[in-house]
Amino acid sequence: MNVEKYIDNIEQLLKNIEVAGLEKTIDIVKLELLNIKTILRDNNNLYVEISTRVASEIQQLIFEEVNKAQGDKNTLFKKTLENAWKIIEWIGSLDTSEEFLSHYQNNKNILKNLCYQVGFFPVLYNFPKIPQLNFIIQSSEITSTDRENNPLPITNPLYRKDTRFVGLKIDVEVFENQTVTIYEKYIALNGKLYSNSKSPKGYTSSISTDIDVNTKNIDLLSWGNADECIFAVGEHCIELWVDNYRIHKKEFFIDNTPLEKLEIELTEAENKLKEINNTQFYLSELQTANFIMSKIQKFHLFRNRKEKQKQILGQLQIIANIQQKAADEKKRQTAEQEKVIQKLKNRN
């Protein structure tokens, strides 16, 4: 396996690294370092050299940001320090040289003192070390089955109507035999973890498997319910973890079938038509006009009968105009909505 592409990926990430989006960049770097460590297991010095370079570049970036923020208001500076502390803690989980560690610890103490000065008490994140794996994940594919556990065609999105269980198949390259426990996290679109009473703490499920150099793929445990689709419409993801370290992430999207979506659209359109028919248009104007009419009809000193009749007729005309305008508007909106409904029916 050629390690150069993973090293090149890190080089490109470091070349374009910015504080904005740093956490997302770190997520990518973590996976690249995992693959490099796996491939270079017999050449640990090179891996440590690369990891140290990553740590050094990111450490320099966050201290530059802290120095820039020292002139900011206390709340903004505090937020910068909170973010910097989290990242410096992550840097401490990397495999780095002894020389770097001595400078790192000194810088960490400086950052800690700054945090105390603004009233932020640093917490220990306990980020896990990068595990030593004997395989890399080359690609992955979402799988799904129906209520009878029959495989469904691979589609994107997965259709909620038929999908009962969702799984993940990973294609791997194995360098040496290994027994590994892979933990799965099925995460809903709202960030909620799918789990039950049998789930390992903090995970959805786990599987222990023996792999060897002939292993090409691993089918992981699926998740779902035979009676109904537990996945709401939207984006979900499956994360794979080993030794508390995320080694892979795959998104999948759940949606209604085109026919179901059409039926939903049609129902919504028909409900809107009912709403139009039940709506009294220009109600506020009509109420105001009727209120004025009630005032006109009351006795007014020094107003003769002829003047009163004239005012009543004038107000009746105003009311009639409003009623006609309301009827015209209802007719217009009804016709438009009926066209929408007919178009939807023609699509069926």
For residue 300, is it left (φ>0), alpha (ψ between -120 and 50) or beta?
Answer: beta
| pLDDT, position 68 | 87
CA angle, residues 269, 270, 275, in degrees to nearest 5: 95
What is the per-residue pLDDT for 347? 84
Query: What are the boundaries of each domain within the chain?
Result: 4-117, 135-256, 259-347
Rounded mean pLDDT, 52-70: 92
Summarize the confidence of residues 89-93 as an average pLDDT.
Answer: 94
pLDDT digits (tens, 9 = 90+) for 39-59: 997 678 999 999 999 999 999
Work out the mean pLDDT of the chain and round it to a whole number. 91
**Residue written as tokens 């999908």?**
163
Mean pLDDT value across residues 307-332: 92
User: pLDDT band at residue 167, thresholds of 50, 70 and 90?
Assistant: very high
CA 252, CA 255: separation in Å to the nearest integer?
10
Q: What confidence tier does 332 reach under pLDDT thresholds 50, 70, 90? A: very high
How does pLDDT run across 169-200, given as a tens digit for each residue? Answer: 999 999 999 999 999 999 998 899 999 999 99
pLDDT band of residue 8 (cuts 50, 70, 90) is: very high
Q: Which whole number is the average pLDDT over 289-311?
A: 82
- Mean of pLDDT values over 332-347: 93
Q: What is the pLDDT of residues 137-162, one digit of tens each?
A: 999 999 999 998 899 998 889 999 99
pLDDT in the model for residue 72:
64
Angle, CA of 4, 8 and 14, to the nearest 5°: 145
pTM confidence score: 0.80
| Residue 256 CB-density burial (10 A; 0-12 exposed, 13-18 middle, 19+ buried) | middle
pLDDT at 311: 87
Please report which confidence band the pLDDT of residue 299 belongs to, taking 50, 70 and 90 as the band edges: low
What element of type H or E holds 245? strand 245-255
CATH number of 135-256: 2.60.40.1930
Higher-confidence position of 115 and 2: 115
Q: How far is 142 from 186, CA to CA, in rounded Å?
A: 12
CA dihedral of residues 270, 275, 280, 283 (deg, nearest 10): -140
Query: Which pLDDT value is given to residue 186?
Result: 97
The amino acid sitting at 187 is I
Amino acid at 303: R
